[in-house]
Amino acid sequence: MDTPRTPVVIPCAAAVAGTRLPPLRIEITCTLIVAAAIASRDYQDVHHDAELARRKGSPDIFMNILTTNGLVGRYVTDHFGPYAVLRRVAIRLGAPNHPGDTMVLTGTVEEVDGDTVTVRVVGENGIGRHVTGTVTVVLPGTDEGTDTDTITGTGTDTDMGTGTGTGTDTVTGTGLDSANLPVRRPG
Amino acid sequence: MSDAVEGAFAARLKAYEGRPAAVAGVGKDRVNAPMIRHWCEAMGDTNPAYTGPDAIAPPTMLQAWTMGGLSGHAGRAEAYDELLGLLDQAGCTSVVATDCEQEYLRPLRPGDEVTFDAVIESVSDRKRTKLGTGYFVTTRMDLRVDGEPVGTHRFRILKYAPARARPGGRRPRPVINRDNAGFWEGVARHRLLIQRCTGCGTLRFPWLPGCNACGCPEWDTVEASGAGTVFSHVVVHHPPFPAFSPPYAVGLIELAEGVRMVGNVIGVPYDKVWIGMPVRLEFARYDDELELPVFRAQDGNGG
Ligand SMILES: [Zn+2]
């Protein structure tokens, strides 16, 4: 059976100021630091060469800011789902992320303005506060007709058992309250 | 730096505000699925919006599309290089990114060719930070695709002189004078010499012109056997000095002959030094000119 995937969607109506996002633990390994530095096209030696990092006064290699930025963005979109659209990410770095440490990201919804939600994010590691920042994200709303598709909550399980579920654009009625919820496609 | 020199230097730095940091830059690679996938793998980001035929790039990849990579950018603006060069010359050779603010105006998709311009927004006054003394430099970059704005990226770095482990930092030189020259001549021959009053026989250390016990100015020397114990010690954490890497242990060593002297305790972690710990004299060479007596921890029980 090939049922179209229904991603988790958190409509803006579900976002309330003061809501805490579940924490995300990230083990800081050499592999993470190096792989993410290279994936972000950052070849500064302090992000992959421990000896050169030490010569510059750091006890070991440390995570680059692009990686922190990516992890903070991921933390918020992991929570709000793939239809959430990042509008702004602003971060400030403090205590560096070295291999062997663990960073725990926590977030609190700071403000909800229509379909726009601002989340305050903090990342703590073993030596202190690695990152503080705010992320602004636009969630699938209920008040915009443009640029949205409607989930057709027909309640008819048209895909069930037919084996022809591929290629259909219709998300079949799930029986959830999200039926008839206009959904903003990613982008 | 004196205040006047410092002021003139600050003015030179301020003159870079408003000047370009990048002009008509072009991303080395168009937005593409492989780089998106590598990013998502590294970040552990499984957001389905970043895969499949309608994939967008993770918005936080914005800066990655503008990076020079290993080969760097050919077209970096002179003003920015000049500014960084000026800071290098002032000893601020290290750099760390401190702030990143990005706004995403529309998603980037595979095939998009990103172009960018950047301006030096501000250069701070000289700041003392935990990492060292330096200057914050803030740049703002505008990114476009087909001439249309797609995002902005404000970036702040700290260019600083590292506060510790400064390469080339040398230990301070001893002040050698008529009263203590004999001690340093002994060190040069790997002998630790203790002064002995020829009037009353009292040993004294450090070296002094006369005897504290009887006032007699005449003396000869006794060579220390090298055996000793830690009488007391401190661990230096802060402040850091060139050529010293805190934390490290400084011991007050009681020599077997009964006099005490200050020296580094080596061969043991700084937090494993204990009062009464047996130590043995060694001579450690720190550079071409400087050798010093130090005390190596010996096997012993306790602590
Ligand atoms: Zn005497």
- Residues A82-120 have pLDDT tens digits of 999 999 999 999 999 999 999 999 999 999 999 999 999
Q: How much is the pLDDT for A14?
A: 64
Q: Map out the domains of chain A as residue ranges.
A: 12-138, 142-180
The Cβ of residue B91 has, within 10 Å, a number of other Cβ atoms equal to: 16
CA distances in angstroms from A34 to A64, A138, A169, B31, listed in the order given: 9, 31, 39, 22
More confident residue, B38 or A182: B38
* Cα–Cα distance measured from residue A58 to residue A75, given in angstroms and rounded to the nearest whole number: 27
Find the helix or strand (DSSP H, E) in which A109 lies. strand A102-113
Question: Closest Cα partner for A37 from B213, B128, B38?
Answer: B38
Chain A residues inside the 8 Å CB shell of B61 = 40, 70
Is residue B239 within 8 angstroms of chain A, CB to CB? no
- Pairing of the two strands B278-285 and B260-266: unpaired
Question: B63–A40: do the CB atoms touch at under 8 Å?
Answer: yes
Q: Which chain B residues contact residue A86 at CB under 8 A? A: 59-60, 104
pLDDT score recorded for residue A163: 32
CATH topology match: B3-162 vs B181-297: no
Q: What is the pLDDT of residue B269?
A: 86
pLDDT of A2 above 50 = no
A42: closest chain B residue by CA: B69
Distance CA B99, CA A131 (A): 9
Give the model confidence (pLDDT) of B90-136 as tens digits: 888 888 899 999 999 999 999 999 999 999 999 999 898 878 889 99
Note if the bond before B269 is cis, omega within 30 degrees. Answer: no
DSSP-assigned beta bridge partners for residue A39: none
| Residues contacting B60, CB < 8 A, separation 6+ | A66, A69, A70, A72, A73, A74, A86, A89, B102
- A28 min Cα distance to partner chain B (Å): 11
- Does residue A153 have a pLDDT over 60? no
Homologous superfamily (CATH) of B3-162 is Hotdog Thioesterase (3.10.129.10)
| DSSP assigned state of A70 | H
> What average pLDDT does this structure show over A63-73?
97
Q: How far apart are CA B249 and CA B270, in angstroms?
A: 5
CA distance A165 to B1: 74
Instruction: For chain A, say whether B107 makes contact (Cβ under 8 Å).
Output: yes
* B15/B82 Cα distance (integer angstroms): 11
Token pair 């230990």 is found at B171
**Taking phi first (over 0 means left), then psi (-120 to 50 degrees means alpha), and beta for anything else, what does residue B183 get?**
alpha
Among B115, B91, B94, B81, residue whose Cα is nearest residue B157: B94
Separation of alpha carbons B37 and B54, rounded Å: 14
Ligand 1 centroid from CA B183, angstroms: 18
Residues of B in contact with A75 (CB under 8 A): none
Q: Per-domain residue ranges for chain B?
A: 3-162, 181-297
CATH topology of domain B181-297: OB fold (Dihydrolipoamide Acetyltransferase, E2P) (2.40.50)
User: Bridge partners of A128?
Assistant: A125
Using H for helix, E for strand and C for coil, what is the string for chain B? CCHHHHHHHHHHHHCCCCCEEEEEEECCCCCCHHHHHHHHHHHCCCCHHHCCCCCCCCHHHHHHHHCCCCCCCCCECHHHHHHHHHHHHCCCCEEEEEEEEEEECCCCCCCCCEEEEEEEEEECCCEECCCEEEEEEEEEEEEEECCEEEEEEEEEEEEEEECCCCCCCCCCCCCCCCCCHHHHHHHHCCCCEEEEECCCCCEECCCCCCCCCCCCCCEEEEECCCEEEEEEEEEECCCCCCCCCCCEEEEEEEECCCCEEEEEEECCCHHHCCCCCEEEEEEEECCCCCEEEEEEECCCCCC
Rounded to an integer, the average pLDDT of A138-147 is 59
Q: What is the pLDDT of residue A157?
A: 33
The pLDDT of residue B171 is 84
Angle between helices A65-80 and B33-43 (to 10 degrees): 80
H or E stretch covering A77: helix A65-80
pLDDT at residue number A8? 57
Whole-angstrom Cα distance, residue A171 to residue A158? 10
A113/A24 Cα distance (integer angstroms): 25
Higher-scoring residue by pLDDT: A159, B167: B167
Average of per-residue pLDDT values in chain A: 76
Quick check: A42 and A64 in contact, CB under 8 A?
A: yes
Q: Which residues of chain B have pLDDT under 70?
A: 1-3, 74-76, 164-168, 239-240, 299-303
Give the 3-state secondary structure of residue A97. coil
pLDDT of residue B75: 61
Question: Structure tokens of B115?
Answer: 């172009």
B81 inside 8 A of chain A by CB:
no
Report ipTM for this prediction: 0.73
Q: Name the band, by pLDDT with cuts 50, 70 and 90, for residue A11.
A: low
Distance, CA B203 to ligand 1 centroid (Å)? 8
CB contact under 8 A, A82 and B97: no
- Domain A12-138: CATH superfamily is Hotdog Thioesterase (3.10.129.10)
